[in-house]
Structure 1
Amino acid sequence: MMSDATRTEADEDVLQYPAPPPVVHYAEQALLGALLLVPERLKTIGPLEPEHFANTAHSALFAAMRTVSPPAPEVHRTSPVWPNQLLEAAQPQARALTASYLHTLISVCPTDAHAPAYAQMVRAGHARRVLRRHASLLAQAARTPGPDPARTVLTRADQLAVYLDELATVFPSHPGSMPRTPAAPTAAVQTSAEAGDEERMLLAAATAHPEDLPRMRWLHETDLTTPMHAALFACLTGLARRGAPVDPITVLWEAQQRGLLHDGFGPSDVLDAVSHPAGAPEHWGQKILQRALLRQAADVAARIETLTADEATTVHQLATGSRRALSTLSSVRTRWNHATNGPGEKPPSRPSAAPRTPAVRAGPAVRTPARPGR
């Protein structure tokens, strides 16, 4: 490669990287240099698109190679027609591209015969960037909820799964595909005033209507963000499972039997948490489960981002590790589907019958479970 003293300022603009550039940058240079030397190598490098290049100038140059017909071999050997044509075609999209940089590309190519290997490196670099982008979109959907956050998150997860399937066809697995990169630490569960209020409303509603709890097996105590609320929910489900009476006093007694009471959390705190019901247990349970779904999706995205940040991880290892990370979302997703559609059901494409009206009860709250808007 040219020394720093002889590299022009325009060439530095083309590089677009702080020193040192990523390894895939050198693969892009070597591939383009091989194609500048021997245009016929375009037929041997396999499927490759301009967007597979990380460097915009490299992408524009390769796009020109795909559209400009190379001269006859004897002309190419004696005249710079091919580089001049490429430069003219690529410069509108990459103004920093210069003739001197094309000479740099040729000089850094070890051998044009290795062009297929360089192309596979470029594809691998692109796969890593796209996988990181999918993880980023999943994280964004989980952390900035919109009108229907669960649907958005699951759509992003499906798009990620489809891309992983595509990777399996381009980069077949081989022995040693398991990732060596340590998994990202699971983020601590973040409590909030809103989450705490929803959990207290769930506890109070479930205490008032314990007959609803058997239908709510889709909600686990681990879905609650506050440990004491999770413990009280376990008390409620335990009482309901045994067929024992459920009211604020029996819940308090169960909490005492489980050793939950202490100086910072006494009988009055339990009674306050399970009293004053409003709304249906399913309504608050769905809100809590949706929050758990978003939390799990954020953890999946963080694990995949950690994998893609390790440049020593191969595409095979990236795909394997990403699949394993994504599988941890499946359990919460299944429970969410049960909560919103019923076990084994799919959302109907059109209503087949009039919706059932829930039985009228004394006490506060409309009993219709709230569902995220479609």
Structure 2
Amino acid sequence: MPRTPDPIEDGLGSLPPPPPVFHVEQALLGALLLEPHRAAGLTGITVEAFSTAGHAALLTAIRSLPAPEPAEHAKTTTWLNQVLTAAGEQTRGLTTAYLHHLIHCCPQPHHAPAYARIIEAEHSRRLLRGAAHRLIQTTLDTSLPHRVATTLAEAGTLTTIVDDIATRFPTRSGPLPRTPATTPVTTHDEEAGEEERLLLATTTARPVSVERMRWLIPGDFTHTLHAGLWQCLTTLTRRGTPIDPVTVLWEAQHHGIAETAEPRELLGLLSEPDGCDPEHWGEQILQRSLLTTAHHTGRRIEKLTDDPATTTYQLVVGARRALADLSAVRVRWHHATTPPQANAPASKGISAPPRAGPAPTTAPPVACIPR
């Protein structure tokens, strides 16, 4: 009689053992094969929740056939044969012996709802992992025409999945998730450094733009020195202190930044502006920060799902924490790329120069103004 291959008995030691949820699936299917009437009470589980095509085909077949009378089912295998035939039309490899094996794998048929709940929880983990992986890949895909918009759309999909999991698995008391040990991906390429240097020099020459760029923070910069100098510029602006390379250098000394670079080097960095709108460079920096944050968010959630000790409750809490960091950057990106409202108060009656930067869903064009 044909049988389902057993990796252990057949000496396939190189194959990894099935995960615990595989055995839970076997127990649930065994319960339904032994007591088919229990399938009517399992409304929350779908065939997509099963880890193998064979198990999914069996659940579909069980649901598609009317449940037999218990007394008749106890005496004949007619219904089991019908299930095997229906499932065999969807996938290969299922045998009568495997159906009997599933029945023997079920400790308690009346525990079927608990088995289904476990399978749903593991399916939620796989959905979350897949969405996090797609977010990571999107942040790295430089061929996308609207990279930021696509990244934010993937983040929205990920948020929807988290919310759906939270709805189906209500919050209960328990330990908070462990923070996964991930290394933030920080871009230190020459292009990023050059954009940051141009922003610092241009805003030093035209400091009125610093006040309009409250959406940019030191954490958006890839270089520690540049982040510190931006903090100096925002501090001087807040105080109303005159801004030029010398005053920024003096403020840098108070921030301990002057110790990391020669004064002449800092003066040179701050004294070479270009003709572009400072906000153009600011949006470039913020865009890179948003993509980096989205990438790190995806990796944090992926790490959570990879840890089998993480419960469904902990997955929801951990994922929402990670998404909150991305949401904060997204709010600032919205402020940066949305035109100011008509009723926004003007600064001392002087209208701001035209913005040169990207639309919310496109990479910023290089638009410069004469010096």
Relative to the length of structure 2, the TM-score reads 0.85
2:155 is aligned to 157
Q: 1:54 to 1:344 in 2, by over 3 A?
A: farther
Q: 1:343 to 1:300 in 2, by over 3 A?
A: farther
Q: 1:270 to 1:67 in 2, by over 3 A?
A: farther
2:230 is aligned to 233
2:44 is aligned to 47
Residue 220 of structure 1: how far off its partner (Å):
0.5
* 1:59-74 pair list within 5 angstroms: 59-74=56-71
Q: 1:57 to 1:144 in 2, by over 3 A?
A: same
Q: 1:138 touches 1:298 (CA, 8 Å); kept in 2?
A: yes
* 1:113-124 pair list within 5 angstroms: 113-124=110-121
Q: Distance in 2 between the 1:312 and 1:253 partners?
A: 52
Q: Distance in 2 between the 1:369 and 1:278 partners?
A: 13
Residue 310 of structure 1: how far off its partner (Å):
1.8
Query: Does 2:305 align with 1:308?
Result: yes
Query: Does 2:307 align with 1:319?
Result: no
2:347 is aligned to none
1:371 is aligned to 359
Q: 2:290 touches 2:330 (CA, 8 Å); kept in 1?
A: yes
Q: Distance in 2 between the 1:32 and 1:65 partners?
A: 9
Query: Does 2:277 align with 1:289?
Result: no
1:197 is aligned, of 194, 199, 216, to 194
What is the number of equivalent residue pairs in this alignment? Answer: 349
2:99 is aligned to 102
Q: Distance in 1 between the 2:148 and 2:323 partners?
A: 15
One-letter amino acid of the structure 2 residue matched with residue 165 of structure 1:
D
Q: 1:127 to 1:367 in 2, by over 3 A?
A: closer
Query: Does 2:267 align with 1:277?
Result: no
* 1:1-374 pair list within 5 angstroms: 8=3, 10=5, 12=7, 18-145=15-142, 146-176=144-174, 178-179=176-177, 181-187=178-184, 189-256=186-253, 258-262=255-259, 265-341=262-338, 359=353, 368-373=356-361
Q: Distance in 1 between the 2:256 and 2:320 partners?
A: 40
Output the aligned Cα RMSD.
Answer: 2.8
What whole-Å deviation, never above 9, does each CA across 1:141-168 have from its counterpart, x for those lacking one? Answer: 2232422222222222222222222122
Q: 1:71 touches 1:81 (CA, 8 Å); kept in 2?
A: no
Q: 1:11 touches 1:96 (CA, 8 Å); kept in 2?
A: no
Q: Distance in 2 between the 1:127 and 1:343 partners?
A: 41
Identity of paired residues, percent?
44
Local SS of the residue matching 1:147 = coil
What whole-Å deviation, never above 9, does each CA across 1:247-303 have from its counterpart, x for those lacking one? Answer: 334434443454433585441354135413131111111111111111112222222
Q: Distance in 2 between the 1:44 and 1:160 partners?
A: 30
Q: 1:296 touches 1:329 (CA, 8 Å); kept in 2?
A: yes
Q: 1:33 to 1:274 in 2, by over 3 A?
A: farther
Residue 100 of structure 1: how far off its partner (Å):
1.6
One-letter amino acid of the structure 1 residue matched with residue 163 of structure 2:
D
What whole-Å deviation, never above 9, does each CA across 1:127-152 have from its counterpart, x for those lacking one? Answer: 11111112112222223242222222
Q: 1:87 to 1:324 in 2, by over 3 A?
A: same
Residue 225 of structure 1: how far off its partner (Å):
0.3
Q: Distance in 2 between the 1:7 and 1:275 partners?
A: 79
Q: Distance in 2 between the 1:258 and 1:105 partners?
A: 68
One-letter amino acid of the structure 1 residue matched with residue 161 of structure 2:
Y
1:350 is aligned to none
Local SS of the residue matching 1:217 = coil
Q: 1:252 touches 1:271 (CA, 8 Å); kept in 2?
A: no
Q: 1:281 to 1:136 in 2, by over 3 A?
A: same
Q: Distance in 2 between the 1:197 and 1:338 partners?
A: 24
Relative to the length of structure 1, the TM-score reads 0.84
Residue 48 of structure 1: how far off its partner (Å):
1.4
